[in-house]
Amino acid sequence: MQHDPQDVRRAANIFKVLSHPHRLQITCRLSDDRTYTQKDLIAEFGWPQSTMARHLSRLRDAGLITATRDGQEIRLQLAGPVAKELMASVCAWVHPETGESFAGNPVDYYAEKAS
């Protein structure tokens, strides 16, 4: 089966964007079918606003998340069924014991498992 080179490049870009641990954490958190604000995610992860904004921008540019204005807040969620399916698989693999998305630092999680 021959794949369109443009589709292959887009898929490769999605995996490149997800290769950063912070962006993977964000998308796994968004995979629980709720919407979050940037403020919610900053409170949960404890990262500076500038760090969160940079990672959210990369995720939006890759087409993985959408942002919808709700009054003065912007609600974030995964962008459609393909992104939800992809992240459900990836997040279950990242956290195989429960299949749940992780909120902590993946480096800490795997360091604990190794000891």
92-106: average pLDDT: 56
For residue 59, pLDDT over 60 is answered with yes
What is the sign of the dihedral through the CA atoms of 84, 89, 90 and 91? positive
Whole-number average pLDDT of the chain: 84
Q: What percent of the chain shows pLDDT beyond 70?
A: 82
Residue 101 has pLDDT above 70, yes or no: no
For the domain spanning 5-114, the CATH number is 1.10.10.10
Q: Indicate the pTM of the whole model.
A: 0.77
Tell me the domain boundaries of the chain. 5-114
DSSP assignment of 61-85 equals: HTTSEEEEEETTEEEEEE-HHHHHH
Average pLDDT over residues 92-96: 70
Checking if the pLDDT of 99 tops 70, the result is no
Question: What backbone phi and psi angles, to 5 degrees, belong to 38?
Answer: -60, -40
